[in-house]
Structure 1
């Protein structure tokens, strides 16, 4: 079983899902389990880089993170994928480590997966964090439709389009007005390979996201059925998941707590500022007694 340190490319564990897809996962720390579920195209190493995974380990948790299907070193089966697929994959990761109960932390599209897990296995999770991903707006649907249309027409989303889109949605307004910051982020985004195991991975995750949004999720009846303590975080300048809409939706979850993180766009997990890692760690600590699944097999 792999046990890696922050910012190192440690060997990954291989999880095999019920439909035979191999996923790369990592586990470290000891204590109650927190499962970290990333967003669309988000390598799980980001949880280390942003400081959340180390903070949770230091607080006495076992942290499990994994790359969703489509992202290397995980396999990329042919598209389309569904949010049901993504949830089944997450359960397979927990089963691989013998975890019975856990706290869930989902970011962006990872919030969709988190909600699916709460529906399909309501007794298995003791608390949930829905981070920058509770209530999607038409902006997300428009971007997803554009990207899928470009893939259908050209076989890919041109790099220049992806870079511009990511700059405009990831950075907050003050960074977008700083030429040096824009240039630096442009270079980072332009030289990355996206981390996809295959182009089908990008298409697959996009179709899962679009299916969720066009199904008018999250629905009020599903939100009302969430029975675990829930923390909802939203960034002040998030174009995909604006805080006012996330706060209104959070009010439909019984007892949910909402917090706005000021001064950041959707990419606030990478760019800061804010105290999201501290808030999430404190929330998990307050609800650690229910996440007793660290007796791994």
Structure 2
């Protein structure tokens, strides 16, 4: 199996994006797109199982991980074009796409604006719209005015994981805390702006790629209702609810992997 450390491309607007491949080159490519406040390592626990079936392409979204952190705001169009430029640079014409949270927004954008570049879509713990601008403007202002990421990091963790994982000082939770504390505030704020300005409720109906929507039963960020609305809007979409909060791939890895792999290896 091919495994490599991160490599880089530079986008058309001059931002360096980190990416890596895992898995055998002859297998179909599955591109993974991350949530706000994480990097490509949010999928580490799923890599062994997924590489049995796919060549994984993971990347750090702008503002996160080893990628560049341009000043915001970011737009959903720009985040989507980042993926297309990454695929172009790597000579990939068509891939499966799995996106979680903000990554699910990006995956929806790809299905709407570049369906010919996508085979199957998995939209996990995401929404087509997450509320009016004032709430996001307030959050962005408070974050950029804060001395560091500590308060925001704890807010993210409470939104991502069930209480028993937080109270147990779970090692997985601590790894995500370290990533959050190392993330530049400008990257989170810029990404929140993309969510603020992203309303896909009308255009998501244009998606014709085979689609699986995964929601968390206990998700307070992107609720099961948000997932159901997406699945209802996309013709033929499948819908699966897991007994999870927001990072369903981490909290319920076995059920998550079963749903994803079963859907992606379907024929026809």
**TM-score in terms of structure 2 length:** 0.88
Contact 1:36/1:65 (<8 A) preserved: yes
C-alpha spacing 1:111/1:149, structure 2 compared with 1 (3 Å): same
What are the Cα deviations for residues 168-224 of structure 1, in whole angstroms up to 9, with x where unaligned? 312235x27x84358x7886566555342x432222112112221xxxx2223x122
2:142 to 134, 150, 162: 150
Q: Deviations over 1:49-71 (max 9, x none)?
A: 2x1x3222112x21101000111
Name the CA distance, whole Å, in 1 between partners of 2:84 and 2:22.
18
Cα contact 2:19–2:57 (8 A) shared by 1: yes
CA RMSD of aligned residues (A): 2.7
Measure how far apart 1:269 and its partner are: 2.5
Measured against aligned partners, the alpha-carbon deviations of 1:6-30 in whole angstroms (never above 9, x if no partner) come to: xxxx521111111121111001223
Q: How does 1:1-297 map to 2 (within 5 A)?
A: 3-4=2-3, 10-29=4-23, 30=25, 31-49=27-45, 51=46, 53-59=47-53, 61-138=54-131, 142=135, 144-152=136-144, 154-156=145-147, 159=150, 161-172=151-162, 175=164, 179-181=167-169, 191-192=178-179, 194-196=181-183, 198-212=184-198, 217-220=199-202, 222-262=203-243, 264-272=244-252, 275-287=255-267
Change (3 A) 1:277 1:17: same
Q: 1:141 to 1:105 in 2, by over 3 A?
A: farther
Structure possessing the higher relative contact order (Cα contacts under 8 Å, 6 or more residues apart): 1
Q: Deviations over 1:72-107 (max 9, x none)?
A: 311111111111110111111111211011111110
Aligned partner of residue 194 in structure 1, secondary structure: helix
Note the residue ranges of structure 1 that are not aligned, 5 or more in a row: 5-9, 290-297
Contact 2:132 2:196 in 1 (8 A): no
Equivalent-residue separation in structure 2 for 1:232 and 1:149 (angstroms): 32
- Structure exhibiting the larger radius of gyration computed from Cα positions: 1
1:114 CA displacement: 0.9
C-alpha contact (below 8 Å) 2:107/2:121 kept by paired residues: yes
Find the aligned partners of 1:226 and 1:48 in 2 and give their Cα distance.
29
Unaligned stretches of 5+ residues in structure 2 = none
The number of aligned residues is 266
